[in-house]
Amino acid sequence: MGVMTYAEAARLSLEQEMDRDPRVWALGEDLGPEGGVAGQYRGLQQKFGPERILDTPISESMIMGSAVGAAICGTRPVVELRYADFGFCAADEIVNQAAKIRYMLGGQVRAPLVIRQSVGMRNGMAAQHSQNNEALWVHVPGLVVIAPGTPADTHGLLKAAIRCDDPVVFLEHKELWATSAEVDPQAGPLPIGVARLVRPGADATLVTWSSTLGRALEAADALAQSGISLEVVDLRTLWPWDRDTVFASVRKTGRLVVAHESVRVGGFGAELVAEVAQTMFPALKAAPVRVASPRAPVPYAKPLEDMCRVSADMIAAAVREMLPADPSGPLAGT
Amino acid sequence: MTDKALPTTARVLEMHRMMCTIREFDEQAGQALDSGLARGSVHQYVGEEAIATGVCANLAATDYIASYHRGHGHSIAKGVDPVGMAKELLGRTGGVCGGKGGSMHIADFSRGMLGANGVVPDGVSLAVGAAQAVKLLRQDRIVAAFFGDGALNRGPLFEALNWARVYQLPLLFICEDNLYSATQRTGAVTAGPGGVARAQSFDIVTETVDGNDVLAVDAAAARLTARIRDGGGPAYLYATTYRWYGHLAFDKGLYRDPAEVKSWRERDCIARIEAWLIGRGVDKAALAATREAVKRAIDAAYEAARAAPFPDKHHAFTDVQDIGGPAWA
């Protein structure tokens, strides 16, 4: 074991996969000397050469389009789109080509590729460099969507994404790049579609992913001070999501809160809440709740940007509100 | 035909048979749509057959091609079985894509045909990637990307030209300029000198050719593919031509001047090569026999397609994805 950052864990994971499989290569802007926007490719071009770590022009359509073409012709490309916001510049190639080519062509070919996009708000990047576009990708048949929230999960899930024969959208949060935690450098791939029960609890289930995980754990600590026990589930994979873990948790607690940084309207939380309500309505003791961003572009000024953030306080308040108010104790009468 | 070495009669007869096959397939594709057997979009290649034929005559079985919505001719010229194509067109079992793609997604990887495409110019983008894979894997093959003049004003085409030249990819671009982007005259919406200048501005070697002259296409493609195989990087063939019918099979093309249509029909690529062959001493009856044999084969292909069953309903939900496919949801 060793402590490493989210960026270092991602870099190690790609290096190990490129060592393991000569068909794996990466392409995108500023990967070589620069080593990627967060150092997540540092040293890899020196080790693997300029063909396998390909520095490209600012040319998102072709970065993505050529990756699809190379994926259907025997290689396993790892696409770096730098910011998720630029994923829209390659949306045609992702949605119309990568996601559908296997199906349209009657299964005669697959497109094994990874589409890395760094998501989310970080330090005043404003409206075109702060978006979380996760729900859009989940909506597209053919895509797998992964959003790791810890260095260890990034390490294991990037391996799984590279070995997956389906196109995988891999969403890395900008705010997490510099965070550190324990990672087993020898660990293999983690299973796609399996959530992690991060903190067991009894009174409510909080489902979250990516950087909101940290705020969820802060909220759980704060609630514990009041004697409220919050179960925290890190979904890790958004499609396909781990219904077994979520349903088992909600069946136990009877309450569901979903927290995510992306816009609440049409967000992925809506899908989770709807599925839970439709599947296990009688088990619910309270209406499920979403804690997410308002439907506004992300502003620049700090006090304005903060208005679009999901905070630990907001999560804790949402949990408190769904519990019965009783002066004799938070859970009396439930 | 300006080249010193003339092709053998056998080679030209083979190209003649190919052009006749493509024409017959697409004449019947239009009939299949009219009669309701085919659905959706069917874009006929009638009138443009010399380009696919002349280019693919210079490709090996292992080479790749990528195409676009008007893709039947490229598929047949690359060796895709017209029976599997007819079944695909009619959405039947045994279609090259199992009936799940239709006319705009015909592909056959066993023949190096990476697919027609429903988005302009995404077939070119995929061809760039295929060429990148060829280079990475150190394979001995080249890639040919067909597109129409409608692609000349799409950004990804410029990205593709830049990319192919920067990385010196083994890729032949073929612009089939039939003068129309769907129903719009391309010249009316294109700034600058257009077709061939687009590639020249990226420092890519180009040739311009009469796309209704299969011998000229064959000779130009021979020069350009040889250059690409020698490691010369990408090249660009600009071929002028005309589609006899509308953009889609149900489009009667009434926005075109009848005199324009007539003048281009007089430049029919098949009639021209037949005249050339007769000049070479080939018997008229032999050419008629080829057309008859082709018609019988294509009749049989569509007959087999009509007789084939529709795909089992469960195939609506197969081959979406391994993890999280429709069975999961």
User: Shortest CB distance from A69 goes to which of B107, B126, B321?
Assistant: B126
Instruction: Please give the Cα distance from A118 to A80 (Å, whole number).
Output: 9
pTM for this entry: 0.96
Inter-chain touch A103–B100, beta carbons under 8 Å: yes
C-alpha angle A193/A199/A202, rounded to 5°? Answer: 110
DSSP-derived secondary structure for A37-71: TTSTTTTHHHHH-TTTEEE--S-HHHHHHHHHHHH
**What CATH number should be reported for the domain holding residue A43?**
3.40.50.970
Instruction: Please give the Cα distance from B136 to A84 (Å, whole number).
Output: 27
User: Shortest CB distance from A25 goes to which of B107, B131, B136?
Assistant: B136
**B323: contact with A, CB 8 A cutoff:** yes
Does A223 map to a domain? yes
Q: Do A33 and A171 share a domain, yes or no? A: yes
pLDDT at residue B4, rounded to an integer:
57
On chain A, the residues whose CB falls within 8 A of the CB of B130 are 69-70, 72-73
Instruction: Please give the Cα distance from B123 to B68 (Å, whole number).
Output: 6
Q: Do A166 and A209 share a domain, yes or no? A: no
Q: Do A170 and A45 share a domain, yes or no? A: yes
Question: Which residues partner with B235 through β-bridges?
Answer: B172, B205
Q: Do A178 and A200 share a domain, yes or no? A: no
CA B252 to chain centre: 21
Q: Which site among A103, A110, A113, A236 would you substitute to test the B interface, given the most B Cβ atoms closer than 10 Å to its Cβ?
A: A103
Q: Which has the closest alpha carbon to A272: A286, A295, A288?
A: A288
pLDDT band at A329 (very low <50, low <70, confident <90, very high): low
Enclosing H/E stretch for B217: helix B214-229
Instruction: Please give the Cα distance from A29 to A41 (Å, whole number).
Output: 11
pLDDT band at A334 (very low <50, low <70, confident <90, very high): very low
pLDDT at residue A327, rounded to an integer:
47
Question: Which residues partner with B231 through β-bridges?
Answer: none
Q: Do A43 and A153 share a domain, yes or no? A: yes
* pLDDT for A1 beyond 90: no
Does A332 map to a domain? no
**B154: contact with A, CB 8 A cutoff:** no
Sequence-ordered strand ranges (E) for A124-195: 144-146, 168-173, 180-183
Q: Which site among A66, A115, A137 would you substitute to test the B interface, given the most B Cβ atoms closer than 10 Å to its Cβ?
A: A66
Per-residue pLDDT tens digits for B286-316: 999 999 999 999 999 999 999 999 999 999 9
Instruction: Please give the Cα distance from A18 to A12 (Å, whole number).
Output: 10
Per-residue pLDDT tens digits for A272-315: 999 999 999 999 999 999 999 999 999 999 999 999 999 999 99
Q: Which residue has the tokens 């091609």?
A: B65
**B199: contact with A, CB 8 A cutoff:** no
On chain B, the residues whose CB falls within 8 A of the CB of A108 are 96-97, 107-109
The CA-atom distances, in angstroms, between B70 and each of A311, B44, B103, B248, B301 are 53, 6, 8, 9, 19
Q: Do A213 and A300 share a domain, yes or no? A: yes
Q: Which site among A73, A89, A95 would you substitute to test the B interface, given the most B Cβ atoms closer than 10 Å to its Cβ?
A: A73
Instruction: Please give the Cα distance from A256 to A288 (Å, whole number).
Output: 5
Instruction: Please give the Cα distance from A130 to A149 (Å, whole number).
Output: 17
**What CATH number should be reported for the domain holding residue A243?**
3.40.50.920
Q: Do A169 and A301 share a domain, yes or no? A: no
Inter-chain touch A141–B66, beta carbons under 8 Å: no
Nearest 5°: phi and psi at B134?
-60, -40
Domain that holds residue A101: 2-183
What contacts A327, CB < 8 A, 6 or more positions away? none
Per-residue pLDDT tens digits for A73-125: 999 999 999 999 999 999 999 999 999 999 999 999 999 999 999 999 999 99
On chain A, the residues whose CB falls within 8 A of the CB of B326 are 141
Say if the ipTM goes beyond 0.90: yes
Q: Which residue of B lies nearest to A191 if distances are taken between CA atoms?
A: B323
Q: Which has the closest alpha carbon to A78: A63, A91, A90, A92?
A: A63
pLDDT at residue B143, rounded to an integer:
98
Q: Do A154 and A246 share a domain, yes or no? A: no
Rg (CA), chain B: 19
Instruction: Please give the Cα distance from B319 to A101 (Å, whole number).
Output: 10
Q: Which residue of A lies nearest to B106 if distances are taken between CA atoms?
A: A105
Question: Does domain B16-317 bear CATH number 3.40.50.970?
Answer: yes
Q: Do A131 and A201 share a domain, yes or no? A: no
CB B92 within 8 A of CB B99: yes
Nearest 5°: phi and psi at B312?
-60, 140
Alpha helices (H) along A240-267: 243-253
Per-residue pLDDT tens digits for A153-175: 999 999 999 999 999 999 999 99
Q: Do A120 and A263 share a domain, yes or no? A: no
Q: Do A220 and A163 share a domain, yes or no? A: no
In our burial notation (b when 16+ CB lie closer than 10 A, e otherwise), range A20-34 reads eeebbbbbbbebbee
The CA-atom distances, in angstroms, between A261 and each of A121, A294, A315 are 8, 10, 12
Nearest 5°: phi and psi at B239?
-120, 125
Q: How many domains is chain A partitioned into structurally?
A: 2
pLDDT at residue A333, rounded to an integer:
46
Does A329 map to a domain? no
Q: Summarize chain B as % helix, strand, coil (round to 5).
A: 50, 10, 40
Q: Going residue by residue through chain B (329 aa), what tens digit of pLDDT does each one get?
A: 444 578 999 999 999 999 999 999 999 999 999 999 999 999 999 999 999 999 999 999 999 999 999 999 999 999 999 999 999 999 999 999 999 999 999 999 999 999 999 999 999 999 999 999 999 999 999 999 999 999 999 999 999 999 999 999 999 999 999 999 999 999 999 999 989 999 999 999 999 999 999 999 999 999 999 999 999 999 999 999 999 999 988 888 999 999 999 999 999 999 999 999 999 999 999 999 999 999 999 999 999 999 999 999 999 999 999 999 998 87
**B123: contact with A, CB 8 A cutoff:** no
Structure tokens, A81: 């789109």
Does A189 map to a domain? no
Instruction: Please give the Cα distance from A139 to B300 (Å, whole number).
Output: 42
Q: Which residue of A lies nearest to B91 if distances are taken between CA atoms?
A: A106
On chain A, the residues whose CB falls within 8 A of the CB of B319 are 102-103, 106-107
Write the single-letter amino acid at B203: D
Q: Do A250 and A102 share a domain, yes or no? A: no
